[in-house]
Amino acid sequence: MAGSTPVSLSADAPASPQLAVQPRKARSISPALETWRRFRRHTLAVTGAIVLLILVSGVLLGPYVWPVAINDIDFAAKLQGPSLAHPLGTDDLGQDLLARMMYGGRISLAVGFAAMLVALTVGVLVGSVAGMASGWLDAALMWLTDLFLALPTLPLLLLVMYLFRDSMKKVLGVEGGAFVLIVVVIGGLRWMPVARLVRAQFLSLREKEFVEAARALGASKVRQVVQHILPNALGPVIVVGTIDVAAAIIFESTLSFLGLGFPSDVPTWGSMLRDAKDYLDIAAHWALFPGGAIFLTVLAINFIGDGLRDAFDPRRVL
């Protein structure tokens, strides 16, 4: 980022300007590359990234290695602990937990990332418009943001799910309808901090001299935003985005827990946890795996967010 390697002013070679800097052989270091370098030095963040990568590739590729049906009921093998036949054990219907974990992980992670994208998109749009427009439009948008912030999340969530679940089911099928609804609701309830952050960034960036220079050259507002303001505002937004992924995964678990998420026969990490809670004393593994997976994912993502924040912050010396 700007000034991450501040060259001291006095480092100017007083010699003739032509000789001031010898062309270096090394490839030019872009701000993105610089950020990546700083991120790489953040051990926890790198560990988090590796853990997340393993989890994601596990749920994506795992089913090909372990092609077991998620709804293969076998009462003879119910509530078993880990074994060769069922590496993560079985649930109360004797269904294979490893297969269900991988299927449920796909849904949970997809919900997390999709909800994050919704929150970021809405937040960046609202924040950008508010940050560029001053006056009544800015005031109206910020009023809207505050209104959403003041809404009580959970009751609203219940209401929306209750009202729209059936109509969405008709259009997109049972799973698709639930997915879209959950993503929209979670994303729709988490865009406000992003909007505020983006607006604050815009207010400060649009007064920066390089943006003023663009104005002096006749750059349109769109050009100022796309070329100059937004790219410099995105760092902190990405950090908030990572936290949103984790929050959405937890939110989905809460919904599942309340029976408002996906249909009960569709496994997600959250719903598995809910189903397992009645058997904690006789089949602890059943709760342990989805619970551990949620915990690991959220922790990994938070560490990644931490690392990104440090990497984007030019004042922070690693």
Partner 1 sequence: MNAPLAPAEDLLKVRDLRKRFAVRGGIFSRTVDQVHAVDGVSFEIGKGETLGLVGESGCGKSTTGRCILRLIEPSSGEVWFQGNNVTRMGGDELQKLRRDMQIIFQDPYASLNPRLKVGAIIGEALTIHKLAPTQKAMEDRVVQLLETVGLQPDHMHRFPHEFSGGQRQRIGIARALAVEPKLIVCDEPVSALDVSIQAQVINLLEDLQEEFGLTYLFIAHDLSVVEHISTRVAVMYLGRVVEIAPSRELYDNPLHPYTEALLSAVPIPDPTVKRKRIMLQGDVPNPIRPPSGCHFHTRCPIARPDCAQRVPELRESKPGHWVSCHYSG
| Nearer to partner 1 among residue 41 and residue 277 (C-beta) | 41
Which lies closer to partner 1 via its Cβ, residue 78 or residue 215? Answer: 215
Secondary structure letter of residue 279 according to DSSP:
G
Q: What minimum distance in Å lies between the beta carbon of 95 and partner 1?
A: 51
Residue 262 phi/psi, 5° resolution?
A: -75, 160
Binding stretches for partner 1 (CB under 8 A): 1-14, 16-18, 20-21, 23, 28-31, 34, 208-219, 223, 227-228, 231-232
Smallest distance, partner 1 to C-beta of residue 192, A: 21
Give the nearer residue to partner 1 in terms of CB position, either 82 or 314: 314
- Nearer of residues 16 and 155 to partner 1, judged by Cβ: 16
φ, ψ (nearest 5 deg) of residue 90: -130, 165
How many angstroms separate the CA atoms of 155 and 170, rounded? 24
**Residue 215 CB, nearest approach to partner 1 (Å):** 6
What minimum distance in Å lies between the beta carbon of 227 and partner 1? Answer: 7
Beta strands in 144-276 (DSSP E): none
Shortest Å, Cβ 141 to partner 1: 16
Cβ-based nearer residue to partner 1, 10 or 171: 10
Tell me 42's DSSP state.
-
Q: Where are the alpha helices (DSSP H) in the chain?
A: 31-40, 43-65, 97-132, 136-150, 153-188, 192-205, 209-216, 221-223, 230-257, 269-276, 284-312
Integer Cα distance of 226 and 208 in angstroms: 15
Q: Shortest gap between Cβ of 145 and partner 1 (angstroms)?
A: 17
CA separation for the pair 38, 314 (Å, rounded)? 10
- DSSP three-state, residue 20: coil
Phi, psi (deg, nearest 5) at residue 47: -60, -45
Residue 144 or 214 with smaller CB distance to partner 1: 214
Long-range contacts of 205-214 (CB under 8 A, 24+ apart): 205/229, 205/232, 205/233, 206/131, 206/132
Cα–Cα distance for residue pair 211/233, rounded to 1 Å = 13
Q: What are phi and psi of 96, to 5 degrees?
A: -70, 120
Q: Residue 267 Cβ, how far from partner 1 at the closest point, in Å?
A: 43
78 vs 208 by CB, closer to partner 1: 208
Closer to partner 1 by Cβ: residue 210 or 295:
210
Minimum gap (Å) between residue 305 Cβ and partner 1 = 21
284 to 83, 225, 249, 288: CA distances (angstroms): 15, 53, 22, 6
- Minimum Å gap between C-beta 35 and partner 1 is 11
Contact 311, 43 (CB under 8 A): no
Q: Nearer Cβ to partner 1, position 231 or 263? A: 231
Entry field: residues in the chain? 318
The number of beta carbons lying within 10 Å of the beta carbon of residue 301 is 26
